[in-house]
């Protein structure tokens, strides 16, 4: 009998429901450690995209440069999906498990709280490590690090919120497709295309920003640069708060709720 190398959408949403049950019943220490790893992995992808973007536009133009930055940024989600980690944005899909009655809403909120905190610590730690590596100082990469952090800190609440919606709509579609894929190559391709699309488009990812903005803040402090818009309060309340709320709306409403409504049996909702 031939084995399929992909799941149908109905099979995929059911696999997501069962995965949510497993994720929310594992011990909190395991969840926290896996969330730290996800923070590290997304930061690796973010750092790589900064390196690619800082001078690529001069050779291939800004559009292609952003496309290339998106391609390499997808490496972060590839690590999360294939190696296994708990990423807050992807865990928006746990709402499908709650809607199906497999987990309680309290368990969902508990998981989100642990994972968001772990992702934050992981991303901050990687920002500090890369700053201490001195790979940025004295190079044109430093300008890109600062420019990225400053630009994100200057977004209005509404703009950051909307960009957060658009971002996690694509991220959760990437996770949905990666769940549907039955082999590693399929999972990698599932991560590549939607993540490239969100980065090239300029959407906002809360966990990535937990790396991007602190990296700029550390560099600003270390080099003694004056940039009034780039502050820790702007990081937390001007960017992370609206982007996180937008990420939740994008992943929950447009992916988890939509596919649960379409594919889960009526008597299970």
Question: Nearest Cα to 106, choosing from 24, 32, 27?
Answer: 24
Question: Nearest Cα to 47, choosing from 117, 142, 115?
Answer: 142
The pLDDT tens digits of the residues spanning 232-268 come to 999 999 999 999 999 999 999 999 999 999 998 754 5
pTM, to two decimals:
0.95
The pLDDT tens digits of the residues spanning 191-223 come to 999 999 999 999 999 999 999 999 999 999 888
Question: Nearest Cα to 211, choosing from 114, 81, 122, 143?
Answer: 122
Whole-number pLDDT of residue 266: 59
- Burial status of residue 233 (CB atoms within 10 A of its CB: 0-12, 13-18, 19 or more): exposed
Q: Is the pLDDT of residue 115 over 90?
A: yes
Sign of the C-alpha dihedral computed for residues 226, 216, 116 and 173 taken in this order: positive
Half-sphere exposure of residue 232: CA atoms within 13 angstroms, side-chain side: 3
Say if CB 114 and CB 233 are below 8 A apart: no
**Top-level class of domain 9-263:** mainly alpha
Work out the average pLDDT over 115-137: 95
Per-domain residue ranges of the chain: 9-263
Question: Nearest Cα to 217, choosing from 205, 226, 206, 204?
Answer: 226
Work out the average pLDDT over 159-184: 97
Question: Nearest Cα to 31, choosing from 120, 124, 116?
Answer: 116
The pLDDT tens digits of the residues spanning 58-98 come to 899 999 999 999 999 999 999 999 999 999 999 999 999 99
**Spatial distance between the Cα atoms of 60 and 38, rounded to a whole number of angstroms:** 31
Whole-number pLDDT of residue 267: 47
Work out the average pLDDT over 9-13: 95
Residues of the chain above pLDDT 70, percent: 98
Whole-number pLDDT of residue 227: 85
The pLDDT tens digits of the residues spanning 21-57 come to 999 999 999 999 999 999 999 999 999 999 999 999 8
């Amino acid at each position: 009998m031939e084995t399929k190398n992909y799941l149908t959408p109905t099979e995929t949403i059911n696999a997501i429901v069962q995965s949510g049950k497993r994720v929310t019943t594992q011990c909190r220490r395991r969840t926290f450690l896996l969330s730290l790893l996800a923070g590290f992995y997304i930061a690796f992808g973010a750092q790589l995209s900064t390196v690619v973007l800082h001078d690529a536009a001069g050779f291939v133009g800004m559009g292609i440069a952003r496309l290339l930055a998106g391609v390499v940024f997808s490496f972060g989600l590839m690590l999360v999906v294939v190696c296994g980690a708990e990423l807050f944005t992807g865990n928006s899909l746990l709402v499908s498990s709650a809607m199906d009655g497999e987990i309680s809403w309290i368990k969902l909120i508990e998981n989100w709280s642990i994972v968001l905190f772990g992702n934050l610590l992981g991303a901050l730690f990687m920002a500090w490590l890369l700053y201490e590596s001195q790979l940025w100082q004295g190079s044109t990469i430093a300008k890109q690090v600062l420019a990225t952090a400053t630009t994100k800190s200057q977004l209005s609440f509404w703009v950051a919120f909307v960009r957060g919606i658009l971002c996690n709509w694509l991220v959760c579609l990437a996770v949905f497709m990666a769940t549907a894929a039955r082999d590693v190559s399929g999972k990698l391709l599932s991560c590549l295309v939607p993540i490239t699309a969100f980065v090239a488009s300029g959407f906002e990812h809360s966990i990535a920003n937990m790396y991007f903005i602190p990296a700029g803040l550390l560099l600003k402090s270390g080099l003694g640069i004056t940039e009034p818009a780039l502050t820790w309060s702007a990081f937390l309340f001007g960017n992370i708060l609206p982007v996180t709320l937008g990420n939740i709306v994008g992943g929950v409403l447009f992916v988890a709720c939509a596919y649960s409504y379409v594919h889960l049996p009526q008597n299970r909702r």
